Each structure stands twice: as structure tokens, then as C-alpha cells.
Structure 1
Amino acid sequence: MKHYFPFLVFLIFNSCQYFEKQVPSEKELLQKELKSINWKEVDEYPSLADCEKINNKNQRQQCFFEIMTQLIQEKLDIDTLSVLYPELDTIEVKVTVFPDATINFEPQFPKDSVNYDRIKIDSILRARLVDFPKINPAIKRGIPVKSQFILPVILKEKEVKQNQ
């Protein structure tokens, strides 16, 4: 037993090196974490108060898009876009929701559309698309982030009454 004691002490002191592991640096951990994040998707999409009660992420997203499209269509129904441009039945609107819950609307035109007065349509959109309900911004890892999406808005053609 006396012969094993020095060997045991030697083994205990030398075994500590097997327990030491190299701790990665803060920069390495940060780079690894940044690479693992999918920056193209958010944890929570923007939402309206009407959609907050929905628990399913996809259904809440669908609710938000449907209500936003409906609100934009209602606001544009009272305008003259369909009279000025009867051939324009659908317009795509790029909606940007900023982290401070402000929103911005920008019409998107096909590349071959030279017959539309883009400035006039843009000014009509900016004048009509105001007074929206409060929108909660998208959330990524607990932080509000900017999000953008394109909504197709169907313009309803108004009937013009003719004097007979």
C-alpha cells in the first residue's frame, strides 16, 4: 500500500490537466452565435391588436396580412386610382414596419409599366394611407426589428353612372 500512495498522488495532480478545457474567446462565441441566427426570418411577425389573441404563429401572420390588405383596400376604394387608371386592377404595395412601430408604404410597379404616373400614384397612396391602427413591430430575439413585405391590393373599379 505504501508503494501505491506516491503513484496515487502523482496521478491526482497530473489528472487536473485532463479536466482543463480551452474556453473559447468572446469573439469566437459571438461569431458562432451570429452565424447560427437566420437573419431572413423573425421570431414574431408584426401584428395588430385584433391578431394578438391568436396563439398560432402562422395564423397570426395570416391575420395580420389579411387585415392590412383589407385596410389598404378600404382606404384606396374612396379614391380615384381606378378612374385614372382603369387598366390597373391590382397594385403591389411594399409595407415597411419600423422598430418604433411607424409604417411606410411604397407602390411597386412592374418593370415594363411606363404608362403610369408613378409620382401621382405615390402621392395618392401617401395621402390615403394614413391613420392606421397601432402595429406592433416584428420581434427577433426579443428585440423589435424592421420588417418589409409586399401586399397585393386589388383596386375595385367604380361604376360610373351615365345620364340617360
Structure 2
Amino acid sequence: MKYFYFFLLLFLFNSCQYFDKQVPSEKELLQKELKAINWNEVDEYPSFVDCNKMESKEERQQCFFQYLTTLIQEKISIDTLSILYPELDTIEVKVTVFSNSKMKFEPQFPKDSVAYDTIKIDSILHARLIDFPKVSPAIKRGIPVKTQFILPVIIKVE
């Protein structure tokens, strides 16, 4: 019986330390979680319907970029950019995919853009880069988010 009381006291003494531990506050837990999130990467990249059939995230990402680049090249190849600027073979286009599935295209001009009529190129691209298939926005932690990236688009294919 004496051992029973000894173990009971020992148990009670040791169990009291469980009540002394502080529970982290909601703010602390939120700050810890926010610091753990990599805000520079998305869980799922934007996607077109045809790319959703791909198995892995990397395949869907590659499909999206290839499909988008091909569409842009097709849309601007029917224009006079290559005739107006024969030395211009590639143009970088900043693509923004908003969380509501809308897309915006902005040409990024080289540092020596004084050689080009940037306003004319910009207006040609804005006129041609319309009527794209529906795109699904990028996803971060289950929420649609805005993404931006720069695509090099080949104007002249020889």
C-alpha cells in the first residue's frame, strides 16, 4: 500500500507539469504558419483545359507555357512585326493571369528600345493578343491567385 501512495504522489507531481505549459496564442500560430509559406511559388500553375489532363504538376506547367507561347506566336505571326522590324526576332511578353481567369499581356522592350516604335509594337500586340481560350488561374493553398511571368516569344521562325 505504501508503494501505491508513493506512485500516486509521483504521478500527481509529474502530471502537474503538463498543466504548466503555455498554449501558443492564435496570433503566434498564424505568424508561424505565414513564415512557413513560400509566397514565391504556387501549388498549381495556371492551366488550359487541355493541360489539365497531364499527370504531374511539372507536365501541366510545361504544357501551359508551351501552349500559351504557341498561341501568342500564331496570333502575332500574321502581323507586320517581322516586316516592320526585321532585326527583331524575339520579344518578351509579361503575362499576368488574374485570379478571375482574365489575362493581360505587356511587351517588355529591350534596353535599346529607341530603335523600335514601342507604342506601335505595343498596340499591335494588344490588338492581336485577344480571344484566348479560358485559363484556370494559379492556386495557392486552395485559393485562386494572380501570377505573372515573362515569356520569350519568337517572332521570326526560319
Given that 1:96 and 1:146 are in contact with CA atoms closer than 8 Å, whether structure 2 keeps it comes out as yes
- Higher mean alpha-carbon deviation, 3-12 vs 109-118, is at 3-12
Question: How far apart are the structure 1 equivalents of 2:59 and 2:143?
Answer: 22
Q: Which residue in 2 is equivalent to 1:74?
A: 74
Given that 1:42 and 1:140 are in contact with CA atoms closer than 8 Å, whether structure 2 keeps it comes out as yes
Question: How far apart are the structure 1 equivalents of 2:75 and 2:102?
Answer: 18
Q: Which residue in 2 is equivalent to 1:36?
A: 36
Q: Which runs of 5+ in 2 are unaligned?
A: none
Q: Which residue in 1 is equivalent to 2:16?
A: 17
Instruction: Note if 1:97 corresponds to 2:80.
Output: no
Correspondence 1:1-164 to 2 at 5 A: 1=1, 3-4=2-3, 7-20=6-19, 21-156=21-156
Question: How far apart are the structure 2 equivalents of 1:4 and 1:49?
Answer: 72
Corresponding residue pairs, total: 157
Identity %: 70
1:89 is matched by which residue type in structure 2? D
Question: How far apart are the structure 2 equivalents of 1:51 and 1:4?
Answer: 70
Q: Which TM-score applies when normalising by structure 1? A: 0.88
2:33 is matched by which residue type in structure 1? E
Quote the offset at 1:153 in angstroms.
Answer: 0.8
Which of 1 and 2 has greater Rg?
1
Q: 1:46 to 1:119 in 2, by over 3 A?
A: same
Quote the offset at 1:50 in angstroms.
Answer: 0.7
Q: Which protein has the bigger helix share?
A: 2
Q: Which TM-score applies when normalising by structure 2? A: 0.91
Given that 1:82 and 1:157 are in contact with CA atoms closer than 8 Å, whether structure 2 keeps it comes out as no
Task: Report the secondary structure of 2:127's partner residue.
Answer: helix
Quote the offset at 1:22 in angstroms.
Answer: 1.7
